[in-house]
Structure 1
Amino acid sequence: MLSLLCPSPPLISQRNSYFFKDCIWLGATHDGYPRVPLDEYTKSRRGHGRADIDIVSEAALSQALFTFGFLESVMEIKIPENVLLRTRDDGTRVMTCENLPHLLQTWRSRIRSLKHQDIQRCYEWADRVDKITGQMYKLLMLHVMHPTCYSPIFICHRQSQLSFPDIAAIFNVIASIAYGVTVSRRIFPKMPPSTTDWTFMLDLDKSVENDLVKNGWCPSLMRIFSGSVCLLGYVATCQPFTRDWMPGHAECTRSVCIIHNIDPSNYVNRHVTATCNCTYAKPALEKIMDLLGTGDIPVIETCDSDLLGTSNGMRTPYVAISHVWSDGLGSTSEVGLPTCQISHLARLARHLITNGSFWIDALCVPKQSDMRKKAIGLMAETYRRANVVLIIDAGIRSCALSASPEEKLLRIITSAWMQRLWTLQEGLFASKLVFEFSDGLAPLEDLLPRTEEELTGSPLLVELALELHRMRKHIQPPHSITLGDAAQSLRWRTSSRLADETLAISGLLNVNPVDLYDLSPQQRMRKFLIQIRNLPPDIIFMQGPKLEERGFRWAPATMMTGHQIAMSASAEEHTAICTSDGLFSEYAAVYFPDIVMQQQLEWFVRDQRHSRRIYKITDMSEESSGNAKYTCNTLLLRRLPGSSEVKSCVAVLVLPESSTQCADGTTRFMCEYRRRLLLTVLAEDEVGKINDIKSVIQGNSGHMQVLIS
């Protein structure tokens, strides 16, 4: 008989870790030329005296530059065409990913060898790789963000010489190659994590996402899949899990999955098997309330009758069960659960700890308001004290331990458990996290890539494991979770009761949920942020609705935004101070005379400090509504952008005569939040396209310490 707790198979998968479709090769000749630096690649292939070549040839050269040219520059070897190109039966040549994993593996082996032979040369090589990657990133940004000016590939499409699906496939291949290099570069000694994000190239084509939704995947998961260079292609090879007792995702949107939202008035518990019709069992309510009343944690100890035995979790080892109510295990102490489910939970608990005691909200949290409040106040401690936290989710349980490492991680990150609000702290506080699969249990550590080769050799495994690695971050020194950490993990989650957000994460940030329990949702968030006090300055750039509380119009009303979060997770970067009057921090600033804006989608500011620099300001804010006017005179950013960069900024109104001298001699300005905008530095050839250059606002730039209200 298979042991319920059994080791996972080795992580290294025999399946290809790169998933991009073959793309058309536009015909550039790569073989026969010497290896040259990236910035000389196209010049060396144009030939002497051939400055002007046709646009199709230019597009072909661009494709060769971004693939062969980039790989040769970072690997510092010559790469023959037949490594990445193959000829189809119909005679067309395509670029394929078949040999890319081996190519990158060989590169990593050379880096390891050099580390042992000459560490200084290895450091120098790492610096060259980072410089080349930076060049590649800026060049690709120009091609994708300004296609009609800089991209021969896009110009071919405009001239009907190249289809849009072909363009999307070409850039998908380029993104995959670039991401593979970015992951493999970690093999260099003392290499800091890369901040380069190649996913901007994936927004060109949504056909893969549309096909996934048609195949039954929830539209809300596309937000996760589209944030990964290699994940979309892999998911296209897998079937989604569907709960046969629930409707599909037809009513879900890209913003939110609704099928796990529960209506308590018609909620029905599920039995272990569809034919079971057993009775319910529950603990003695008085015992549960007595334990909660003294600040103790009630746990289920004996399950051999309809009246379950309880004990004090402060003195008894126990397993905490983490689950989602949509799987049918929701209830209260007063109602209890079907005995078949309780027997199943007890059996799992006995495999994990000797005495088999367990805690589950369905049995240990009463419905009665005052006792429920006490149980919620103890929730963080409940999961922190548990010997094991066991995850039970129907989607994860649909997968076997013998499945590939990629599939097991995919089932976890797409599970309902990973998408619900309350389960976040349950996973983060666990000292040992165990998942139930169809044929056994597996601890999280056995599912994550750990070795150097796993972390650098399989970008797909790394992408799948990112969110789960974040859940283990607090176990390492300094054992703390920041607001940035919490926001990153919350962004894709939701809840049947959105007002519970701060209650569900307060324990993570050392805020007592009891202090928030009786407040309105907006007041909860305000008090929550004040009690945390140290926030990342980039919190003001978050997408999504804002608080309407005075002094806090910069603050997010929710962190379950459904958007990528740019907020820093580093405690060292939580330098903004939240007070009852607003947020005190320092920002880069572009300032100008007061202007009144009214639903103006684009406007321009000239930075007189950099006389040739003009910023394009784009209002794509979800805060825009109707003909609402706003007055502003300053744009705040974390840093001024480089050429053609797009940065989030915030329009504020610095109040007249509001400056005050700080103790360190600096000046602080009072300002009022207006809205979130996007700022782009125009390329020189775009400046001439502004219809009325006189309409450009004259401004300046610098740094400001501000108190934002």
Structure 2
Amino acid sequence: MDFLPLPEGLSEHELVPELPGAPYDNQGFSGYDVRQGWNVQLLREGNIRGARTEWNEYSQASLTEHGDDVHGFDGEQLVQFLVAPFIQNWIIYGLSQSALGHHISRDDTTFTRINERGEMRRYLTLKRLFGEFSARKEELAQDAQWHQEFPALLEEASWILADLDALHDELGAPVIPGPTAVVLSALLRTMQDHAIIWCFPHIIDTSAPSRVRWLDYKLRDEGWCPERIGRLRVELGPEGLYYASLLEVNKDGKNHDECSKSACVAYNVTNYDAYRQRHDTRYCDCRDEICTHDVDSCACRIAYDVESLTEKIRVSVMQGRIPLLIASHSDRRTELEVKDSHEGQEYIAISHVWSDGMGNPHQNGLRPCLIHFLDFCVQKLFEALKPGAEPIFWLDTICVPLLPREARDAAIESMRRVYTDASAVLVITQDLISRPLPSTFQETIVRICQSKWLKRLWTMQEGVLAKSLAFQFENHAIDYEFLDHQVHREIHATTDKSALVGSRATLMVSNLITMQGIDKSREDLFNSFWFNIRHRATSRLSDQAVCGSILCGLDLRPVLAADDEDKMRVFWKSCQDIPFGVFWANGPRFDLDTMRWAPKSFLHPSTWAVPPPKTGLTAKVLDDGLHFSGVNAFYLQSVDLPSLEDSMIEFQAGVDPTAYTMLLTKNVDNPSWNSLRPFWKCVCLLWHELPHSGGFSHGVLVSYSGVDEQELCAEPPHAQQTVLRSRWLAQVNIFAKGGDWDAFVASFPTRYGKDGDLLPRQAVDVIVHPSRPQKISKEREWCIY
């Protein structure tokens, strides 16, 4: 891993032993498997014994360097030491030779060192090869043949690694030793991403998703949150997850047993009665570890008049102003003064995570030590941004009144203005302020992108709306725009260390802060919102409707006035016009008349996993349902309801000879075929677009009422006479037969035949064939309820 930078405090990466085996023949990546006697397809399928026809000579040559140790190998170790050296040499030597165009020797990729047992061993080193790769970027960028050939090798290698990694769960152990698998995946992904950057647009990403299960499971055993593991692996790749594991940030005492791969709930605040503000000993003389900091003798008790301050804030928010705060200090006490904002007012909006202890569910008050800390942070930031400005700030803990509800709602309604008008938004989280600002830009951005700030729902809008965003460390804040610029400068540097982990990390924040652009359409805004809400969590699920309204610029009053369980429904009603792509979105929906089309939660992983497709169409949210036109639709005349839950319906689209198949989408709350029986009449299929061969598209089944079949399928102008009122039935996926369709069907579960034998899926007749469906004019207006 020595082609990646190191975090502060580490002198070298963990050494990864070379896996000794048959030496590389320097005849190129392509065909190396055949030349070495391997059937790589059988190997990828898990048939390790059948992947070679000759084992004795190969195993003797491969295990020679292990000496007497081989007699103690168990089955797992034998597999690893026979298969893994072949894969290691194929990828390291084969890809390096193909990338650089010359022979690669063992001395190019390894070095020797005496291990802890006093034995001389070889370890992998790839920084020299990566350094040459980086130095020749301009030459490679001009090589048209290289553009064509090298990406294909990277794609093949990535899918091989992905298939072998997928065998981990089946075999109960990795085929390739974990540290070696991390090196191979990291090298492959790093070479590919650099090639894409240097040679854009000649090279695009067609690789397999990167994953090393060994690393995932190792971090989970160390107490890491499963959401954090999955998010960092997807966003930063295995090499980024490895780098993050070196930072030792997982020691905040939180238990992640209740967290899932889609959301971290460890930082939810569920017991408000037990909530206590944290104490910052750097700004207080109280050193009593058992002190509650609310007794008269404690220097850190809240001594100023909280009610008087809160009343001034209530008056300010009810008059439509933004209340701001400025601290004053004397020998005896710390005070806060309220100032109303005015046009051009300079102030800092504080963004924090309540579980860190800077909230207060009991009163709108803050301990003096925290006021001192915030005053220090705001002053330091203004010194960099606006020298001479008063250290004025806004903090929700004080500036959003707890009572009465009218004042609280008024303060929340103004939040969009609070963050957009602020000179800067300053992010303060315990996992960042507990450490000095790192000396390298990569470590700084990776620490930011894995902080809890990026996990929480409310902090999303605070980052999106900021005109300037800064992150506070122990004694310094860093401006994100400056950090982003510095990280991207490092990508193009010629060096033996890749800066791509830092670059990918910046995208996690940049995707957030670019959500609100002046050129963003309503459709762009919804899609960005869908993308950025991934993996976020909140203590109150109903808050998603509030945050969604703020970010989408909706009238907040109806949502705030609604009961918690009704807020999402009111959110959709408040939209009035929505991008039609929402209609095709996945995830659970309301089981309510007029609202069956509406997603029930943005935070459900089925919903946010895939943003709605862009259609360029708009739908209207009216009292009786969702109204739209311009959609592809067929009347499924006389189609029988499938009898088996995994059954498919096959059809042809008009004169198109292609056969299409629809399958119920496997989503939470999406009904089964049998549950549709009471509504299975006059069924129509609406789809986003017909898929290409081997692909799939989104579709929705509806049951219409109110018109006869002749009027339903009438062409203009008669088609414009009646709105087609239809009940939402279910989401479906539509597949075009051909291409990968046979492989897709073959992957379905098997079923028992008449004699109790397991039959392959394609041998079972579970496809319902309707008569040729009738096309419905795209000009028809639909109302889906």
With the shorter chain as reference, the TM-score category is 0.7 to 0.9
Aligned to 1:223: 230
Q: Deviations over 1:115-166 (max 9, x none)?
A: xxxxxxx7x569737xx7479658966x799x7xxx9x999999x9x96432
Aligned to 1:640: 691
Q: Which one of the candidate residues 497, 506, 511 is aligned to 2:549?
A: 506
Contact map agreement 2:568 2:600 (CA 8 A) in 1 = yes
Structure-2 separation of matches of 1:25 and 1:666? 74
TM-score (norm 2): 0.70
Per the alignment, do residues 524 and 289 of structure 1 end up closer, same or farther by CA in structure 2, a change over 3 Å counting?
A: same
Aligned to 1:620: 666
Q: 2:317 aligned with 1:310, yes or no?
A: no
Aligned to 1:56: 52
1:72-221 matches, within 5 Å, as: 75=99, 77-78=101-102, 80=104, 82=106, 86=110, 98-99=127-128, 101-111=130-140, 114=142, 128=148, 133=151, 137=155, 164-166=174-176, 175-188=185-198, 191=201, 194=204, 196=206, 198-199=208-209, 201-202=210-211, 206-221=213-228
Structure-2 separation of matches of 1:664 and 1:257? 54
Q: 2:464 aligned with 1:428, yes or no?
A: yes
Aligned to 1:393: 429
Q: Deviations over 1:54-78 (max 9, x none)?
A: 73389899887777666666x4734
Q: Which one of the candidate residues 505, 519, 524 is aligned to 2:562?
A: 519
Q: Which one of the candidate residues 545, 553, 571 is aligned to 2:596?
A: 553
Q: 2:26 aligned with 1:31, yes or no?
A: yes
Q: Does the residue aligned with 1:427 lie in a helix, a strand or coil?
A: helix
Q: Which one of the candidate residues 248, 265, 272 is aligned to 2:273?
A: 265
Contact map agreement 1:553 1:673 (CA 8 A) in 2 = yes
Aligned to 2:61: none
Identical aligned pairs, as a percentage?
A: 18
Q: 2:508 aligned with 1:467, yes or no?
A: yes
1:278-677 matches, within 5 Å, as: 278-280=300-302, 281=304, 282=306, 284-304=309-329, 308-315=336-343, 316-331=345-360, 334-353=363-382, 354-368=389-403, 369-448=405-484, 450=486, 454-455=490-491, 457-474=498-515, 478=519, 482-520=525-563, 523-529=566-572, 532=575, 538-540=581-583, 542-562=585-605, 565=608, 567-568=610-611, 575-580=617-622, 581-582=625-626, 584=628, 594-597=639-642, 600-601=645-646, 603=648, 605=650, 617=663, 620-623=666-669, 629-630=675-676, 634=685, 636=687, 640=691, 642-643=693-694, 647=696, 649-653=698-702, 655=704, 657=709, 658=712, 672-676=727-731
Q: Deviations over 1:655-700 (max 9, x none)?
A: 4744576799999987654444566664557878445454333478
Structure-1 separation of matches of 2:14 and 2:129? 11
Per the alignment, do residues 531 and 421 of structure 1 end up closer, same or farther by CA in structure 2, a change over 3 Å counting?
A: same
CA offset at residue 592 of structure 1?
6.0
Q: Does the residue aligned with 1:382 lie in a helix, a strand or coil?
A: helix
CA offset at residue 391 of structure 1?
1.0
Q: Deviations over 1:602-656 (max 9, x none)?
A: 647476888786758475322257995235764745562554x6x5744523647
Q: Return 232-241 or 54-63, whichever deviates more.
A: 54-63
Per the alignment, do residues 69 and 361 of structure 1 end up closer, same or farther by CA in structure 2, a change over 3 Å counting?
A: same
Per the alignment, do residues 383 and 250 of structure 1 end up closer, same or farther by CA in structure 2, a change over 3 Å counting?
A: same
Structure-1 separation of matches of 2:509 and 2:733? 31
Per the alignment, do residues 536 and 167 of structure 1 end up closer, same or farther by CA in structure 2, a change over 3 Å counting?
A: farther
Aligned to 1:234: 243
Contact map agreement 1:219 1:254 (CA 8 A) in 2 = yes
TM-score (norm 1): 0.76
Greater RCO, 1 or 2 (C-alpha within 8 Å, sep 6+) = 1
Which has a greater percent of strand?
1
Per the alignment, do residues 194 and 476 of structure 1 end up closer, same or farther by CA in structure 2, a change over 3 Å counting?
A: farther
CA offset at residue 386 of structure 1?
0.8
Per the alignment, do residues 629 and 92 of structure 1 end up closer, same or farther by CA in structure 2, a change over 3 Å counting?
A: farther
Residue ranges of structure 2 left out of the alignment (5+ in a row)? 44-49, 55-82, 114-118, 282-286, 383-388, 493-497, 747-759
Per the alignment, do residues 626 and 472 of structure 1 end up closer, same or farther by CA in structure 2, a change over 3 Å counting?
A: closer
Structure-1 separation of matches of 2:156 and 2:693? 10
Q: Deviations over 1:521-547 (max 9, x none)?
A: 565434534555665655455454322
Per the alignment, do residues 294 and 223 of structure 1 end up closer, same or farther by CA in structure 2, a change over 3 Å counting?
A: same
Aligned pair count?
A: 662
Q: Deviations over 1:286-330 (max 9, x none)?
A: 321221122110001343466532111234321111111111111
Root mean square deviation, CA, Å:
4.9
Per the alignment, do residues 87 and 309 of structure 1 end up closer, same or farther by CA in structure 2, a change over 3 Å counting?
A: closer
- The one-letter amino acid of 1:411's match is R
Per the alignment, do residues 402 and 135 of structure 1 end up closer, same or farther by CA in structure 2, a change over 3 Å counting?
A: closer
Q: Deviations over 1:154-206 (max 9, x none)?
A: 99999x9x96432988876665455324422443476399564632x52xx64
- The one-letter amino acid of 2:279's match is H
CA offset at residue 585 of structure 1?
7.2
Q: Does the residue aligned with 1:517 lie in a helix, a strand or coil?
A: helix
Contact map agreement 1:18 1:101 (CA 8 A) in 2 = no
Structure-2 separation of matches of 1:256 and 1:397? 24
Structure-2 separation of matches of 1:52 and 1:243? 45
CA offset at residue 392 of structure 1?
0.9
Q: Does the residue aligned with 2:234 lie in a helix, a strand or coil?
A: coil
Per the alignment, do residues 87 and 437 of structure 1 end up closer, same or farther by CA in structure 2, a change over 3 Å counting?
A: closer
Per the alignment, do residues 549 and 42 of structure 1 end up closer, same or farther by CA in structure 2, a change over 3 Å counting?
A: farther
Q: Does the residue aligned with 2:375 lie in a helix, a strand or coil?
A: helix
CA offset at residue 552 of structure 1?
3.6
CA offset at residue 601 of structure 1?
3.8
Q: Deviations over 1:573-614 (max 9, x none)?
A: 654535333264777889966343577246474768887867
Q: Does the residue aligned with 2:542 lie in a helix, a strand or coil?
A: helix
CA offset at residue 338 of structure 1?
1.0
Structure-1 separation of matches of 2:15 and 2:693? 31
Per the alignment, do residues 635 and 371 of structure 1 end up closer, same or farther by CA in structure 2, a change over 3 Å counting?
A: same
Per the alignment, do residues 375 and 98 of structure 1 end up closer, same or farther by CA in structure 2, a change over 3 Å counting?
A: same
Structure of higher CA gyration radius? 2
CA offset at residue 517 of structure 1?
1.2
Structure-2 separation of matches of 1:187 and 1:347? 41
Q: Does the residue aligned with 1:265 lie in a helix, a strand or coil?
A: helix
- The one-letter amino acid of 2:245's match is A
Q: Return 283-292 or 630-639, whichever deviates more.
A: 630-639
Per the alignment, do residues 562 and 626 of structure 1 end up closer, same or farther by CA in structure 2, a change over 3 Å counting?
A: closer
Contact map agreement 2:325 2:392 (CA 8 A) in 1 = yes
Structure-2 separation of matches of 1:55 and 1:403? 49
Residue ranges of structure 1 left out of the alignment (5+ in a row)? 1-11, 115-121
